[in-house]
Amino acid sequence: MKRMTTFAGLLVLAATAAQADDRADQLARDLAGQGFSQIEVETADGRIKAEAKRAGQTLELVYDAATGELLRSETGRGGGRGDDDDDDNDDNDDNDDDDRDDDDDRGGDDDNGGDDDGDDD
């Protein structure tokens, strides 16, 4: 009896994995049909994660592989959020003064009576 239960459990797992693969394939086709490109779909840990791009926008979707329920949907521009911690021209690096302007962008209060020109005076 234990063998039969184990075998039945393996069949259910195989069917679930096949269903997740079918959902992932369908998701990739749907995204392509909506004009998305650079589509990446992966299935892991009971979830289907898809990333795709269209007209400078990045879309990220996460689904429950067993039920097909949408767990998360995020959109953004290009590859970054605009507040990344690097040496580009964004002024959203509130904890660093690493961009190429003369403003101290570390999130301090500008009404503190001091100047914010980046020097120590």
Domain count, the chain: 1
Is residue 107 assigned to a domain?
Answer: no
Which residue segment(s) compose the domain that 71 sits in?
Answer: 37-82
- pTM for the full predicted model: 0.51
**Listing from the earlier edge strand, what are the strands of the sheet with 70-77?**
37-44, 47-54, 57-64, 70-77
DSSP β-bridge partners for residue 52: 59
pLDDT by 10s per residue, the chain, length 121: 455 555 555 444 555 667 778 889 999 999 999 999 999 999 999 999 999 999 999 999 999 998 889 999 999 986 544 444 444 444 444 444 444 555 555 555 555 555 555 555 5
Is residue 115 assigned to a domain?
Answer: no
Alpha helices in the chain (DSSP H): 2-33
User: Judging by DSSP bridges, how do beta strands 47-54 and 37-44 pair with one another?
Assistant: antiparallel
Angle, alpha carbons 108-110-111 (nearest 5°):
125
Cα dihedral 112, 118, 120, 121 sign: negative
Is residue 55 assigned to a domain?
Answer: yes
Please state the φ and ψ torsions of residue 8, each to the nearest 5 degrees: -65, -40
Q: What is the pLDDT of residue 120?
A: 58
**What is the b/e burial string over 88-99, where b = at least 16 CB atoms within 10 angstroms of the residue's CB?**
eebeebeeebeb
Q: What is the pLDDT of residue 87?
A: 42
Is residue 113 assigned to a domain?
Answer: no
Report the distance separating Cα 86 and Cα 97, nearest Å. Answer: 10
C-alpha 114: how far from chain center: 40
Is residue 63 assigned to a domain?
Answer: yes
Is residue 92 assigned to a domain?
Answer: no
Is residue 50 assigned to a domain?
Answer: yes
DSSP β-bridge partners for residue 62: 49, 72
Is residue 77 assigned to a domain?
Answer: yes
